[in-house]
Every structure is written in C-alpha cells, then in structure tokens.
Amino acid sequence: MKYYLSLGSNLGNRGKNLDQALSLLEDECVEIIQSSSVYETQPVDFPSQPWFYNQVVEIVTGRDPQDLLALVKRIEQKMGRIAQVQKGPRTIDIDILLAEDKVMHTKELKIPHPSLDRRNFVLIPFSEMAPETVHPILDQTIQSILEKSSDHSVVRKVKN
C-alpha cells in the first residue's frame, strides 16, 4: 500500500533525526519511494519552541494503516520522543497523511490526517513532491489546497 508520511523534528540535530527516522523505516521493510526537500518551519500551535525541520515522504509497505501507525510510534519512542507538552518540542514526529484513497476515522488514527489541508509545513513539501495527489475527502489536489491555504507561517527550504 502507498502512503504519504510527514516527518518533523525540532530537538537535537534536526536533519540527522529525519535521516534516522527514514533509515529506521527502511529497516522495517518500508520502501521510501520519494522524499521532498527538507524545510525549516515556524512552530504553529505552540509557538514558543524551536523551529522544526519538516519533510514529506512517499512510501510503500505491506502494512495496513493500524500496523504502520504502531511502527511509527515505536520509531518515535526508539528515537527518544517523550510526550510532555502536546504539540511541543520533539526529536521526531511521524504522521500518516494519506493511505492511497482510504478514509479512516478511529480513536487512534484519522486518515487523511485531519490537519493536512491547514498546515503549510506539510502542504509545501507535499506539493513539491506530489502536487497532483488528490485528497480523498476534499477531492482536490495537494497543489490546489496549498494555493487556497490561509496558513501564513514561515516555511523555507534548507536542503534538497
């Protein structure tokens, strides 16, 4: 199954944290198909914290969405993520954005990610990599959603 994931880090060596998360995914037989550039992004919900590095990746895995969620939570834990303040600083954050055209709504997992259409730190790297991907609920491309975004937070490319 094809997925799009968002990765973010604002503690420690942010770029190295993103690379390590991708490596740990690959160690679990997750194939990284393509990756966006890395962007430095202004914190949105909890502004008094360090800026993030963010990236979006397209992956393929045989795991179902619940199994993939369990895997990314294990990776976050292995990398030292501690839930102290909701939306606060973290070594790594991995979110499932889309799972092909699936729509899921459980207590643990919502696909598409409920904030996907309101977050430039996700929309900008996503549109760089896969602008024609269609949001299964909004029935709009990622590029179209980005063009209508009301998010004005700073998102700047740091490396390809």
Question: Catalytic site residues?
Answer: 81, 90, 93, 95
Q: Compute CA distances 31 → 34, 60, 61, 102, whole Å.
A: 9, 5, 6, 19
- CA dist 138 and 117 (Å) reads 9
Cβ 110 vs Cβ 136: under 8 Å: no
Residue in this structure with the two tokens 């160690």, named with its chain if needed: 27
- CA dist 122 and 126 (Å) reads 6
- Tell me the residue ranges of DSSP E strands in 10-144: 31-35, 38-41, 52-60, 93-99, 104-105, 110-111
Cβ 153 vs Cβ 41: under 8 Å: yes
Task: For CA atoms 33, 37, 43, 45, give the dihedral sign.
Answer: negative
